[in-house]
Amino acid sequence: MGILSWIILGLIAGALAKWLMPGNDGGGWIATMVLGIAGAFVGGFLGSFMGFGGADGINIGSIVTATVGAFVLLFVYNRFLRG
């Protein structure tokens, strides 16, 4: 999957994660989108590691996988890094 696809997938995942997990995030939508891009990588890694398949294209399964990764990163950010 190309880097542009990862970015688009991450933006979609970040938007979904922000919409489903609203709250007072420090950076607002932009920081959440960046976390979504990183979440696409984390979700792809976790999905591959657990045998569910990684984020391998812009499709429903990859969006779900990337959104789960974005949830993980948002949880870590909100609970541990923001204090």
Q: What is the pLDDT of residues 10-27, one digit of tens each?
A: 788 878 877 787 666 666
Q: What is the pLDDT of residues 37-57, one digit of tens each?
A: 787 777 777 777 777 665 566
Cα(30)–Cα(14) distance, integer angstroms: 9
Q: If you compute the radius of gyration of the chain from its CA atoms, what whole number of angstroms results?
A: 12
The structure's pTM equals: 0.71
Q: Supply the mean pLDDT for the chain.
A: 75
Cα(74)–Cα(55) distance, integer angstroms: 18
